[in-house]
Structures are given as structure tokens and as C-alpha cells.
A and B are shown apart, each in its own frame.
Chain A
Amino acid sequence: MVRFNNRRQKIKKLKIVLIYIVATIGLCMSVYPYLYLIIQSFTPEAEVDRVLVPSHLTLESYRWLFLGAGAKRPWLRALFNSIIVAGSSTVIALLGGAMVGYALSRLQFKGRDLFNNFLLFHMFYPGIILLVPLFLLVVFLGFYNSYLGMILPKALSLWAIFLYSSFFLSIPKEIIEAARLDKASELRIIFQIMIPLSWPITTVIGLLVFLRRWSELLWDMVVITSYDKMTLNVLLATMSTGEYVDFPGPMYAATFILTFPLVILFLIFGKRFTKGISLAIK
């Protein structure tokens, strides 16, 4: 009996080890392209895309990008533009989402159901239908080739409104009523009670909106024509199919600069994010 138990325990242990091995192999495959990217960006020009392990590491590609021939294009400026566009879009999406979400879930005003139904319709409408008229509208409004043109038409996130509104419903109404008795204004209730209480959702919305905005290509490419206003993603895309196509090394360096901030952001907020996303999906 004892020996039998021992063997079963051994099999169980073996199983756990096996699962970890498989999970780790999968993990390596999942992050392998990133490793490839990092290594190639520090590889000497002659060896880029030729070897997995370079003979020595060098900053040549980065130097080429910022000081050499690549400096014709404003890479740092593009990084700054990306931060401005993605950052302000995220702030607008969070504030707008919380305000509208609060009204749609917690206030009994006339026409609320109509609002809610329209929101669902709006949310599931394929956005591509709007691309051309939205572009013409932006030109008409004089926002062509400007930050506002990039930010405004995509600023309000319906998905954020929807998530906030369903999450706010799970917050006990006694808390809101107590705050109202204390003569707190509705805006104060939103910003000092509702948003802090829903931090997991806020993290999820904030990170995903930032990520989506950071990675947007089509819209930003269409609205912006001058290099000094392009986001990094757009600048990299224009570079990848033109005169720089034969310079894979600097291209990897730029890709690394594009992706690295997101990875850092995610490593910082990753734990909160995974907690939040299980709440968001329900």
C-alpha cells in the first residue's frame, strides 16, 4: 500500500514537471520573435538575418538610425508623437468612458434605454464603412495632417463606456447614496468613488486603448503626411517599403524602440491587467 502510494505520487510529480516543461517550451516559442528582434538589432550589419548568434554585439544599427543616414527621418520625434497620441486618446477614453458609463448605468434619466440600445448598435458597426467619409470630414474640419485629426475621431471608446457601465452596476448603490447624502456632486462620485473602486477595469481599458492606439496604422497613415507628425508605427511602416528596405538592421532597432515601451508598461501593470481582464470578460 505504501509502495503503491509512493509510485502514484511519483507519477503525479512527473506529470507536474512535464506540464512545466511543455509550458516553458511554449513560452519560448511565444517570445522567440522578440528575442530574435532584440538580438538582430544589436547584430553587425553584415550578419543581420544571416545568423542566430552574432559574432559580437554592436550599436551600429542604432547609431545609423539616430546619427547616420537614418537621421533624415525624425525617429525620436515620432516616438514622442506616439506617446502624445496614444496617451491623450487613453485619457479621453477613460474619462469619457467613466462619465458616460456612469450616466448609462447609475442615473435614471429619460431616454437612457434608447442610449443603451444605440450604444450596442454603434459598437458592433463595422468601422471600416466610416473610413472614407471620416477622412473627408477631417479634411473639411481642417484637422488634416494634425494631432487633432489623429486623436479626435477615434478618441471616445465605446468599448470603454460599455465596460464601465456594466462594472459600475456591480458597485453597491448604498455607496453612491451615502455619498449623495454627504452632498458630493455626481462628478466627484465618479472620480473619487467609482473610478478608484473599479481600478481593475480601468487598468484593462487603459492598457488596451493605449496599445490599440499605439499600433494603429491605417488611420494615422491616411491623416498624416508630414514626417514630423507621424507616429512611430507609421514612420516605421513608410520606411519598411521604400529606400530603407535594404537596411534590416536599423529597421530592427526601430521596431525594438516601437515595441519596448509597451513591454515595459505591460510588465509593470501585467498582474493588475490579468486580474482585471477576468472581470472584464464576464
Chain B
Amino acid sequence: MLKMRKQDNIVGYFLTAPYLFYTILFFVYPLIWSFWLLFHRTSIISRTREFVGLENVYQALGSIKVFAAFIFTYKFIAIFIPVTIVISLFIALLIDSLSKGKIIYIIGYFLPYLASGVAMSLIVRGMLSWNSPVSQFFNKIIGYTPDWFGNSTLAVIVIALMVSWKHSGYYALIFLAGLQSIPDEIYDAAKIDGVDFWMMIWKIIIPMLYPAFYTIMILSTGLSFAIFSEPLILTGGGPYYATHSWQLEIYRQTFEFGNAGYGATIGVLDAIVTFVTILLIKRLLKTWGGLYG
């Protein structure tokens, strides 16, 4: 049994004081404020405050733009998460089976993660610009240049794949850590039993990687609700709000149109949707984990 030391109390409070101060000032207080904003019409510039009841909420729920953000995020998730998981698992398996020079490959695959959303968007915009080598290539193969950011389906796909490119190497590292924690005896036993490659992946490796899957699912879902730089720079949320993300809508409403109350309301809605989605995914993962025991 750990015994209490008297001075632990004093030192403990002293060391946690910065966190306590930070939390009250920059978390609890704004949190309360955000619920106050929910019921008020107020601008970021002027000091006018007007109680409007639930008007902000009604407006947000009836807004086409908010609905577009809602739909875009799920479309994004539907492409981004499966693609990223398959690619990063593939990279992890590949790196795990290398005998020499692992570190070079790990670092190489991780490098895309260092590009900021802005940097990545600018590179992709250039790569897909009219008359660029990539567009010329498509022109040759299919006879025309796809309108990358003018077609609503294509724009979502490009943004999702771009973010996927950025994160695959990072998630591969998480998978790799999981792979390295699988004891060699399990592989050996499976080999003796004559288990083939695909069986090995489906029945042994993927179930053993459950914790890694869990982490990656939560991380990537959270990230999908926080897309901002990419649509801002590449599409401006268009065409027809096809790539209009939650954060873009909050940014526009609050800082371009100045409606702080309405912006905060969308923020609360976004948080609720994010929370419910993550909860659903956790539930889903638990049933899946239960299947394998």
C-alpha cells in the first residue's frame, strides 16, 4: 500500500496549479461562454448582445451550409478512413518484413506527415493545375483533363486522398508498433499448422492489432471533423458546398460575417455530432473486438 506523504499534498497542488489555472481560464470559462453564446445574437466587433432563445439553433439546423458540412464529413470519412487504414497497414507489413534499413523506410514514409495542410494543398493544387504534367497525362489517357475541383465528387475524393497521403505513414508507425508486439511464437505456431499468408493476416495479425485499429479509428475520426486548410485553399468549400467542412462554416460565419453567436452554435453542433460519431465507432469497434475475444 502506498502511504501518503504529508508534503505530497503541498507539492502536488503546486505542480498542478498551472494546469488548474490554464483549465479554468482556457477551458471551463470558454465552455460556459459557448453555451451562453448559443442563446444570443452577438457580433465579434460590436458589443451588442441580444437574447434570441433557440433561434441560433433553429437557424443552424435549417441551414443548407451546415447540412453540407455534415454530409461532406461523412463522405470524407467513407473515403479517408478505409483508404488510409489499408495503405498504412500495407506499409507497416512491408516495413516489418524488411531485414535491413528499416529506419530509412520508416522515416521516408513518415515525411508526408510533416507537410502542413497549407503546404500540402498548395503542392496538390499545382500538381493538378490545368496543363500540369498530371493533367497532361490524363488528357492523353482518357482524352480530357478531369475538372479536379469543379466536380463535386472528384473534389471530395482528391481532398480525402490528399489527407490520406499525409497520414498513412504516421498510422503505419502505430500499426508497426502493434506488429512488433506480436510474439514470434505465434507466427511459428501458425507456420507449423500450415496457415497461408491471407489466413495469417485475417485470423492472426488483424485481431492482434485490435488496439492499434482502435487508436487509429479514434484519431482519424477526430481528424475528419477538423478539416479546414484543405477546402479553404483548394476549393473554398465548393463546388456547391460539396467540400464545405464544419470548421470552414464556423470560420466563415464567425470571422467573415461576424456572427459570433451563430458561429458558436455551429461549434456546439459540430462537437455533438463528433461526439456521437466517435461513440458509435467505439461501440462498433467493441462488438468487433468481442467477436475475436
Contact = CB atoms under 8 A, between A and B. Distances in A.
A178 interface: no
A278 B113 CA distance: 17
Given A33-B123, A122-B23, A263-B111, A278 B225 contact: no
A31 interface: yes
B251 interface: yes
A23 B103 contact: no
A110 B4 CA distance: 9
B108 A27 contact: yes
Q: Is the interface of B mostly helix, strand, loop or mixed?
A: helix
Given A126-B275, A135-B44, A262-B114, A49 B131 contact: yes
A270 B110 contact: yes
B94 A30 contact: no
Interface string A101-139: 011100111101001001000101110111111111101
B118 A217 contact: yes
Given A33-B127, A128-B226, A236 B30 contact: no
B228 A33 contact: no
B31 A133 contact: yes
B118 A237 contact: yes
A145 interface: no
B126 to A, nearest CB: 5
A100 B247 CA distance: 31
Nearest to B113: A211
A96 B18 contact: yes
B132 A100 contact: no
Contact of A133 (B33, B112, B113, B176): B33
A130 B109 contact: no
A145 B164 CA distance: 33
B127 A36 contact: yes
Interface stretch (B60-68, B143-151, B187-195, B259-267): B259-267
Contacts of A193: none
B5 A108 contact: yes
Contacts of A67: none
B176 A240 contact: no
6 contacts: A23-B95, A31-B108, A133-B34, A217-B228, A241-B233, A271-B107
Interface of A: 16, 19-20, 22-23, 26-27, 30-31, 33-34, 36-37, 40, 48-52, 96, 99-100, 102-104, 107-110, 112, 115, 118, 122, 124-126, 128-137, 139, 152-153, 155-156, 161, 186, 211, 214-215, 217-218, 222, 233, 236-237, 240-241, 248, 251-252, 255, 258-259, 262-263, 266-267, 270-271, 274, 277-278, 281-282
- 10 closest residue pairs by CB, A with B: A109-B12, A215-B116, A133-B33, A133-B30, A103-B15, A278-B177, A132-B264, A129-B271, A126-B271, A270-B107
Given A33-B115, A134-B30, A222-B255, 13 more contacts: A26-B94, A37-B123, A129-B270, A130-B267, A137-B25, A215-B115, A215-B117, A215-B118, A217-B117, A222-B251, A236-B122, A252-B122, A252-B123
